[in-house]
């Protein structure tokens, strides 16, 4: 096998941000190339998923992605008070495929061994539990809840359920802060995307008596929401402009942009989607409009908490998820006190937690 490892010097790259280590693993015989970026391990070994993505136009796209994502994991893990640093893997996928070959996962296993445990990884876009079973035959450094051995509580539901529970607590904190309400009864929500996170989230909101308007590109999911939760049906293109109290983005990110921000009527934006703001300036635009934004990586940390805290009891996990609401409350209050955006304060708190460790 011609698997090689190298550590390219990317210090001149615009997204470098003082990464501690970047490993390039390559096996030209099988067409395998992966980058593993370790951003910061001050709080502990790096953790962050492994993405398989066949749509990179060139190497720089893949490098840009891995650097940006691994930095994001440092902030997310620190803000969630996890004793881990941030890292990420991207495997450059073969055009026309959606998941990695077994040979790729074996190569990844060797690459993880090369890093000797300073980084562990698991599923992300394009990689599945079954892929990690293959990598797990080569290395101990995969972190997938259902692969864990005896003695570990294997809760049903997996990361999306825990992400949903965390988002729910974040929503409660945001509603309390912005609207002064302790309960969600009759609060109006617009939920975009009815996937694996939004489905349990809507069930929780509905159980609290919230009023839901929903949209998804899949009509069957929308029909189910109408039937199960009495949800009003919105349209994917304008659900974010509904006259509601809370907009809950749970589809893809990036829909809060210069083109859309002025038409948002909600008082609060709090949802699971990653990278909700199309550009960082949108945080300022929302603040200027008096819309309370729950920073995405703060509110959607439940999935990573679930994966990383293997061995924690159900009660411990729930306590950590509830703490997402406490962290958001701290962010909201500090943003008010310091006249900064909630996104800025989330970054500041994450950096403080890294520095003080």
User: Contact with ligand NAD (CB under 6 A): which of 127, 300, 327, 341?
Assistant: 300
Interacting residue with ligand NAD among 34, 62, 273, 331 (CB under 6 A):
273
Site for ligand NAD (CB under 6 A): which residue of 236, 322, 330, 351?
236
> Which is closer to ligand NAD, CB of 54 or CB of 195?
195
Q: Are 281 and 344 in contact (CB under 8 A)?
A: no
Please report, as residue ranges, which positions from 32 to 51 form the binding site for ligand NAD (by CB under 6 A).
none
User: In terms of CB distance, is 123 or 245 closer to ligand NAD?
Assistant: 123
Helix residue spans in the chain (DSSP H):
59-79, 102-114, 129-135, 158-179, 198-207, 219-229, 281-288, 296-299, 302-308, 314-338, 342-355
Q: Is 21 in the site for ligand NAD (CB under 6 A)?
A: no
CA 135 to each of CA 70, 102, 127, 128, 228: distance values in angstroms, whole numbers, following the listed order: 20, 8, 11, 11, 40
The distance of closest approach from Cβ of residue 105 to ligand NAD in the complex, given in angstroms and rounded to an integer, is: 21
Question: How distant, in Å, are the alpha carbons of 34, 110, 134, 140, 200 from that of 116?
Answer: 17, 10, 18, 9, 37
Kindly tell me which residue out of 192, 206, 211, 287 binds ligand NAD, with binding defined by CB under 6 A. Answer: 192
Does 303 participate in binding ligand NAD (rule CB under 6 A)? yes
Round to the nearest angstrom and report the end-to-end CA distance of the chain: 41
Which pair of structure tokens corresponds to residue 207?
Answer: 């159980």
Q: What size, in residues, is the chain?
A: 357
Give 227-233's long-range contacts (Cβ < 8 A, gap of 24+): 228/203, 229/202, 229/203, 229/205, 230/206, 231/191, 231/202, 231/206
Q: Residue of minimal CB distance from ligand NAD? A: 195
Residues whose CB falls within 8 Å of the CB of residue 87, separated by 6 or more in sequence, listed in order:
36, 37, 38, 39, 41, 46, 47, 48, 70, 73, 119, 121
Q: Which is nearer to ligand NAD, 113 or 146 (CB)?
A: 146
Query: Interface with ligand NAD includes 195 (CB under 6 A)?
Result: yes
* C-beta of 24 vs 79, nearer to ligand NAD: 79
Q: Establish if 70 lies at the interface with ligand NAD (CB under 6 A).
A: no
Q: How far apart (Å, rounded) are the C-alpha atoms in residues 17 and 35?
A: 16
* Residue number with CB closer to ligand NAD (33 or 71): 71
Residue 254 binds ligand NAD (CB under 6 A): no
88 catalytic per annotation: yes
For ligand NAD, which residue of 217, 223, 258, 319 counts as binding (CB under 6 A)?
Answer: 217
242 binds ligand NAD (CB under 6 A): no
Q: Is 126 in the site for ligand NAD (CB under 6 A)?
A: no
Catalytic residues: 88
Where on the chain is the footprint of ligand NAD (CB under 6 A)?
159-160, 163, 192-198, 215-218, 221, 236, 250-253, 272-274, 300, 303
């Amino acid at each position: 096998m011609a698997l090689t490892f190298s550590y390219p010097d990317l210090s001149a790259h615009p997204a470098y941000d003082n990464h501690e280590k970047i490993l390039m693993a390559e096996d030209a015989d099988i067409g395998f190339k992966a980058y593993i970026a370790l951003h910061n391990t001050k709080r502990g070994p790096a953790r962050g998923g492994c993405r398989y993505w066949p749509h990179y136009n060139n190497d720089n796209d893949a490098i840009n992605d891995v650097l940006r994502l691994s930095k994001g994991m440092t902030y997310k893990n620190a803000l969630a008070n996890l004793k881990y640093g941030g890292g990420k893997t991207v495997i450059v996928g073969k055009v026309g495929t959606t998941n990695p070959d077994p040979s790729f996962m074996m190569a990844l296993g060797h690459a993880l061994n090369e890093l000797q445990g300073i980084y562990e990884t698991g599923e992300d876009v394009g990689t599945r539990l079954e892929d990690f079973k293959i990598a797990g035959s080569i290395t101990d450094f995969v972190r997938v809840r259902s692969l864990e051995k005896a003695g570990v509580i294997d809760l049903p539901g997996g990361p999306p359920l825990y992400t949903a529970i965390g988002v729910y607590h974040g929503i409660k904190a945001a509603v309390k802060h912005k609207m002064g309400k302790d309960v969600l009864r009759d609060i109006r929500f617009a939920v975009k995307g009815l996937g694996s996170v939004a489905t349990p989230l809507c069930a929780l909101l509905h159980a609290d008596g919230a009023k839901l308007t929903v949209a998804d590109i899949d009509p069957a999911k929308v029909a189910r929401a109408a039937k199960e939760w009495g949800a009003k049906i919105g349209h994917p293109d304008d659900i974010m402009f509904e006259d509601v109290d809370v907009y809950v983005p749970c589809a893809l990110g990036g829909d809060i942009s210069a083109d859309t921000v002025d038409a948002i009527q909600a008082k609060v934006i709090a949802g699971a989607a990653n990278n909700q703001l199309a550009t960082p300036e949108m945080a300022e635009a929302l603040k200027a409009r008096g819309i309370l934004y729950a920073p995405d990586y703060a509110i959607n940390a439940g999935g990573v908490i679930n994966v990383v805290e293997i061995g924690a009891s159900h009660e411990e996990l729930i306590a950590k998820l509830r703490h997402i609401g406490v962290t958001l409350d701290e962010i909201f209050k500090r943003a008010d006190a310091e006249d900064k955006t909630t996104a800025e304060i989330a970054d500041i708190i994450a950096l403080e937690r890294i520095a003080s460790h």
